[in-house]
Amino acid sequence: MSIAIQTGLHAPVARSRKIKNSAATVFVTGCFLLAMIPLVWLTWTVVSKGLHAITHASWWTGDQRGISYRDGGGGMLHAFVGTVEQVAVSTLLSVPLAIFVAIYLVEYGRGRLARATSFMVDILSGLPSIVAALFVYAVFVTTFGGQRAGILVSLALVMLMVPIVVRTTEEMLKLVPDELREAAYALGVPKWRTILRVVLPTAFTGIVTGIVLGIARIAGETAPLLILVGYSRNLNSNLLSGYQGSLPGMIYDQVTNLGNTTGLDANGHRVQLHYAADRMWGTALTLIVIVMALNLIARLLARASKLSR
Amino acid sequence: MSPADEPRVLAPRPSAGSSAFQENGARVLAPRPTAGASDSVAELTELDSQPVHLTEVAAPPKPIGAGLGGVHQRHRLGDRVFAGLATGAGILTIILIALIGLFLLAKAWPSIRDNQVNFLISRAWTVTGNELRFGVVDLLYTTVIASLVAMALAVPVAVGIALFITQYAPRSLAKLVGYLVDLLAAIPSIIFGIWGIYVLAPHLTGVQHLLYHVRFIPLFKDKGFDTGTVFNAALVLAIMILPIVTAVSRDVFERTPTERVEAAWALGATRWEMIRLAVLPHGRAGVVSGAMLGLGRALGETIAVTLILSTVGQGNAFSWSIFNGGATFASKIANAAAEFNNPKQTGAYIAAGLVLFVLTFLVNAAARTIVSRDKLK
Amino acid sequence: MAKRIDINDLDAFYGKFLAVSGVNLTIQPRSVTAFIGPSGCGKSTVLRTLNRLHEVIPGAHVAGSVSLDGDDIYAKDVDPVDVRRTIGMVFQRPNPFPTMSIYDNVVAGLKLQAGRMKRTDLDRVVEKSLRGTNLWEEVKNRLNKAGAGLSGGQQQRLCIARAIAVEPQVLLMDEPCSSLDPISTLAIEDLVQELRERFTIVIVTHNMQQAARVSDRTAFFNLAGVGKPGQLVEVDDTQTIFSNPKDQRTEDYISGRFG
C-alpha cells in the first residue's frame, strides 16, 4: 500500500511533463506540416492550371504578337528572351563586383571600412526591389533623361544580385583553409596571385553555386519591370531600346487583363474565356520550372564542391 | 620602397624593420640592395648540370643588383592593383547605399516641398494635374500592420520547424525538410501573388467571418472586403518570410553548445524541457534577428501585395481593421508605375519609396546589431 | 650553394606580446639543425621568422635581424615574397593544392611566381623534384591525378617536392612528420638526410629521438618562466646536446623530467 502511495505521488508529476513533451512534439511536427500545405497547394495549382498552356509547341517558339487577351495561341518566347537577356547582363555586371567585394571582406579588409562594407552588404540584401528600381529610375530616367528599357532592369537587378553572391562567395572563401594560403606564400607567391590562382579556384564550385542562386532569385523579380521597362508582346531582343517582354512581366500583363474575359463561343453563347488565365498560369509554371531547375543545379554543384562546412 | 603591403591574411601592421624597432633591433648589417636572389640563381645554374631555365623565373633578366628591384616592383604593382580593386569594390558598396538615399531624397524633395498637405500626417493621396496632396499615414499603417501580422503568424511556425529540423527529426528527414522549406523561398513573389489572390483568398472568407466574431479587437472590426484584404496579404507574406526566419533559427539552434544540451539531458529532462533549458535561451537573439529579417522582407515585398491587396478610394474613414483593402508603400508605387509622367507626380512616389528605404534600413540594421555575424564563420 | 643563416638578437612579437626573445644562432650551410623544446616555447615562431611568414599574422612583427649569407632579410627594401622564394617551407599537415594535379602541385611554385616555362623544362623539374623526394616511382604514371588523392606520407613528400622544385637555398620544416604514421615518418627522415646535400635544413620537432637521428646541430628552446617569453637555451652539436648538455634545463628536458 505504501509503495503504491509512493508511486502514486510520483506518477502525476511525470505525467504532466510527459504530456507537455508530447504536445511539443505534436506542435513542431504540426508546424512543418502546416508549412507544407501552401507549398503543395501552390505547386499543385500552378502545375494543374499551367500545364495546358505549355504543352503546345507554339508556347516555346512563338511570342504574343497580335494575340489579344481574348484569343488563344501564341507563346512566351518573347518573355523568355527578355528575361534571359536582362538576367544575363545583370549577371555579367554583378559577378565581378560581388566577387571583389567578397575578396575585400575576407582577404584584405580590416577595421572600420570592412565593417562598414559588411554592414552595407546586409542593407543591400534587405533592399526592397521597388526601391532599387526607383533608384535606377531616379538616376537614369529623371536625371539623365533616358528612356525606359530592358538595360535599366538589368541595373536594378544587379543591386539585388550582388549581396547574394557576396555572402555566398564570402562564406566559400572563408572555408578555404589558411594552410593553403600559407603554402602558397611559403613558395614565394605574391598575395594577389595566391588569391587568384589558389584561393578562388578552390572555392570555385561554391562561388558558382552562389551565382546560380542569385540568378534564380532575380529571374522572378517583377518590381523593376513595372517601373523601368514597358511590357511588349512582341519579341524584342534589344535591351537598349523599346519595350521588352519578360516572364514575370507576361504574368503581370495577363493578370491585369483578366477582366476582359467573356466572349461568344461557336453557338453564339456568351462564355467565360480562359485564354488569359491559361497564359498566366502557363507562364507561372514556366517561370517556376526554370527557377527550380536553377536551384537544383545549385544544389548539385554544392555537392561537388571541394570544400565542406 | 618599403615592404609595407605584405601579403597578409588579415590586417595592415607595421612593417618589419621599421624605425620603431631601430632601438632594440641591433641591425648588425647595413641595409644594402639585396641582390641575393640573382646571385643564388647564378650559382644554381653552375651547380646544376642540366640547364633549367629557372633564371627567368626566380629573377628577372636584369643585371645583378638591379634584378631584385624589378621583380619587387612587379609584385608591388600586382598586389597594389588587386588590393585597389578589392578595396574599391568595398567602397563602391558603401557609396551605392549613400547614393540611393541621396538620389531618392533629391528627387522627392521638390514634391515634398510643394505638397499641399503634411507628408507625414495626411491620409490624402492625390497627385494629378496641379494637385499635390500626398501623405503616408495610410500607407504606413497598412505596410506595418500587414508585416507585423505576417511576422506574428510566421515566427512561431518557423521556430517550430527549426526545432523539428534540429532537435526532433532524424538526419535524413531533417535534410529533406530543410530542403522543402527552402523551396518555398525559391518561389518567385509574383507567383505567390497570383496564387494568393485567385486561389487562396476565396478560401479565406470563411476565416475572416469567423474572426469577425471577435471584432472587439480593432484588427477584426470591419467586414470591408471579402477578398483582397490586408489579412490576405499578411497571410501570403507570412508564407513568404517563413523560410528566412526558419533558416536563421535553424542555424542558431544548431549551434547550441553541446555542454548545455548535455547538462539538461543529464538532469533527466524530457526533450521539450531540454529545448526550453538549453536551445531556446541560447537561440533567443538569433530568432529575434531572424524575425526582424523576415519583417524587413515583408515590409519591402512589392508584387505579391500589389496583386492581392484591393485598392481603396480616397476619403474613407480610417479603420484599424485588417479586413479592408489598402495599399502599402510598395504596392502604391507599383500600381502607379505606368503613370510616372511628370516630375512632381513621380516625386511623390519617390518620397514614398524613400520612407520605405529608411524603414527597411532601420529594421535590417537592428537585425544585424542583435546578433553578430559569427554565424557565417 | 646553400646558404648560411645568422640570427642576431631576434625578438618575435604578436602585437604587443613578446613571444620569443634574444635568439642568437648561426646555421651552417648544408646542415640539418633541429629546434626542440616543449610546446609553446616558440620554436615554430622562430622558424617562421626565418622565411618572413611570421608577419602574415596581423600585428606580428620582429626585432633584430636574420641574415642569409650576410644579407639581412628584414632590410627595408627587401620584398618578403622574394625571401620566401629563397627559403622554402614544409608544414605540419600536408597541404597540397586541392584543385591541382600532382604535376601541377610540384610546379605550382614555379608557375605561380610568374614567367613562362617550356613544357619540357617543367617536365624535367617535376621528375627531378619527385625523384628528390623518392616519390617519382610511385606517382609517375598518375601525374595528372589529384594531389589530394595520395596517402598522408605521399602528400607530405609531394609538398616537399613542391618546396624544392623552386630550388630554394634553405628548407624549413615545421614538424613535418607529426601527422604521419611511423613508416612515412622514417621515409621522410631518410629524405632529410638526402636533401641535406643540397639545402640548409632547419627542422622543428617535438620528437627528441627524431632530432637525434636526423640533425647535425640541435637548438633547445624553452620558456624563461611562467608567462615569460621563450628563449634559446642552448645550441650545440646534436651529439653533445643529447649526451652532455651544458645547461641544466636542457638536461632536464632530454631526460624527460618535463615537457
Whether pLDDT at B59 is above 80: no
Which of A110, A180, A188 lies at the smallest CB-CB distance from C84? A188
- Say which amino acid occupies A84: V
Per-residue model confidence (pLDDT) at position A235 = 86
Whether pLDDT at B286 is above 50: yes
- The chain-wide mean pLDDT, for chain A, equals 88
- Residues B69-91 have a mean pLDDT of 80
Q: CB of A284 within 8 Å of any CB in chain B?
A: yes
pTM: 0.83
Neighbour-count burial of B26, counting CB atoms closer than 10 A to its CB (0-12 exposed, 13-18 middle, 19+ buried): middle
Whether pLDDT at A233 is above 80: yes
Whether pLDDT at A94 is above 70: yes
Q: CB of A268 within 8 Å of any CB in chain B?
A: no
Using a CB–CB cut-off of 8 Å, the residues of A that contact C are: 110, 177, 179-180, 182-190, 193-194, 197-198, 201-202, 204, 306
Per-residue model confidence (pLDDT) at position B62 = 28
Beta strands in B112-231 (DSSP E): 125-126, 133-134
For residue C23, give how far its alpha carbon lies from the nearest alpha carbon of chain A (Å): 22
Q: What's the grid cell of residue A225? A: 519591370
Percent pLDDT > 90 in chain B is 45
Per-residue model confidence (pLDDT) at position B350 = 93
B73 pLDDT band (50/70/90 cuts)?
low
Per-residue model confidence (pLDDT) at position A153 = 94
In total, the C-beta contacts within 8 angstroms joining chain B to chain C are 145
Q: Cβ A251–B184 below 8 Å, yes or no?
A: no
- Residues B287-306 have a mean pLDDT of 94
**3-class DSSP string for chain A:** CHHHHHHHHHHHHHHHHHHHHHHHHHHHHHHHHHHHHHHHHHHHHHHHHHHHHHCCHHHHHCCCCCCCCCCCCCCCHHHHHHHHHHHHHHHHHHHHHHHHHHHHHHHHCCHHHHHHHHHHHHHHHCCCHHHHHHHHHHHHHHHCCCCCCHHHHHHHHHHHHHHHHHHHHHHHHHHCCHHHHHHHHHCCCCHHHHHHHHHHHHHHHHHHHHHHHHHHHHHCCCHHHHHHCCCCCCCCCCCCCCCCCCHHHHHHHHHCCCCCCEEECCCCCEEECCHHHHHHHHHHHHHHHHHHHHHHHHHHHHHCCCCCC
Q: How many CB atoms lie within 10 A of CB C206?
A: 16
Residue that wins the pLDDT comparison between B157 and A303: B157
pLDDT tens for each residue of A11-20: 555 788 888 9
Q: Cβ A104–B338 below 8 Å, yes or no?
A: no
Which of B104, B168, B181 lies at the smallest CB-CB distance from A35? B181
Whether pLDDT at A170 is above 60: yes
B72 pLDDT band (50/70/90 cuts)?
low
Which of A39, A94, A131 is most worth mutating to test chain B (most B CB atoms within 10 A of its CB)? Answer: A131
ipTM of the complex: 0.89
Which residues in chain C are contacts of A180 at CB distance < 8 A?
A: 95, 97-98
B128 pLDDT band (50/70/90 cuts)?
confident
Q: Cβ A104–B90 below 8 Å, yes or no?
A: yes
Q: Which chains touch B (3 or more CB pairs under 8 A)?
A: A, C
In total, the C-beta contacts within 8 angstroms joining chain A to chain C are 73
Which of C93, C112, C114 lies at the smallest CB-CB distance from A187? C112
Q: Cβ A193–C163 below 8 Å, yes or no?
A: no
Collapsing DSSP states into helix, strand and coil, what is residue B126? strand
Query: Is-contact A287 A59, C-beta < 8 A?
Result: no
- Residues B163-172 have a mean pLDDT of 92
Q: Cβ B29–C71 below 8 Å, yes or no?
A: yes
φ/ψ bin of C49: left (φ > 0), alpha (ψ from -120 to 50), beta (otherwise): alpha
Q: How many CB atoms lie within 10 A of CB B259?
A: 9
Q: How far is CA A86 from CA A89, A95, A162, A207, in A?
A: 5, 14, 15, 21
Which DSSP letter does residue B320 get?
Answer: -
In tens digits, chain C (259 residues) has pLDDT values of 578 999 999 999 998 999 999 999 999 999 999 999 998 889 999 999 999 999 888 889 999 999 999 889 998 888 888 899 999 999 999 999 988 999 999 999 888 876 688 889 899 999 999 998 889 999 989 999 888 789 989 999 999 999 999 989 999 999 999 989 999 899 999 999 999 999 999 999 999 899 999 999 999 999 988 888 999 999 999 999 999 999 999 999 988 887 6
Per-residue model confidence (pLDDT) at position B26 = 31
Name the residue of chain A whose CA is nearest to C51's CA.
Answer: A186
Name the residue of chain B whose CA is nearest to C75's CA.
Answer: B31
- The chain-wide mean pLDDT, for chain B, equals 78
Percent pLDDT > 70 in chain A is 93
Which residues in chain B are contacts of A194 at CB distance < 8 A?
A: 7
For residue B290, give how far its alpha carbon lies from the nearest alpha carbon of chain A (Å): 12
Angle between helices B171-186 and A2-54 (to 10 degrees): 40
For residue A100, give how far its alpha carbon lies from the nearest alpha carbon of chain C (Å): 20
Name the residue of chain A whose CA is nearest to B187's CA.
Answer: A288
Per-residue model confidence (pLDDT) at position C2 = 74
Which of B104, B301, B338 lies at the smallest CB-CB distance from A138? B104
Q: CB of A190 within 8 Å of any CB in chain B?
A: yes
Q: Cβ A184–C108 below 8 Å, yes or no?
A: yes
Which residues in chain C are contacts of A193 at CB distance < 8 A?
A: 112-114
d(CA A293, CA A304): 17
Name the residue of chain A whose CA is nearest to C112's CA.
Answer: A189
Q: Cβ C118–B72 below 8 Å, yes or no?
A: no
- Say which amino acid occupies B278: A
List the beta bridge partners of residue C32. C201
Per-residue model confidence (pLDDT) at position A308 = 63
Q: Supply the DSSP string of C11-61, one letter for each residue.
A: EEEETTEEEEEEEEEEE-TT-EEEEE-STTSSHHHHHHHHTT-GGGSTTEE
Contacts 24+ apart (CB under 8 A), B175-182: B177/A32, B178/B250, B179/A299, B180/A35, B180/A36, B180/A39, B181/A35, B181/B242, B181/B243, B181/B246, B181/B247, B182/A295, B182/B243, B182/B247
Which of B13, B15, B18 is most worth mutating to test chain C (most C CB atoms within 10 A of its CB)? Answer: B13
Whether pLDDT at A65 is above 90: no
d(CA A151, CA A164): 20
pLDDT tens for each residue of A106-134: 999 888 999 999 999 999 999 999 999 99
d(CA B229, CA B205): 10
pLDDT tens for each residue of A251-286: 998 888 777 666 667 777 777 777 888 889 999 999
For residue C167, give how far its alpha carbon lies from the nearest alpha carbon of chain B (Å): 8
Q: Cβ C118–B53 below 8 Å, yes or no?
A: yes
Collapsing DSSP states into helix, strand and coil, what is residue B125? strand
Q: Cβ C76–B10 below 8 Å, yes or no?
A: no
Query: Is-contact B361 A123, C-beta < 8 A?
Result: yes
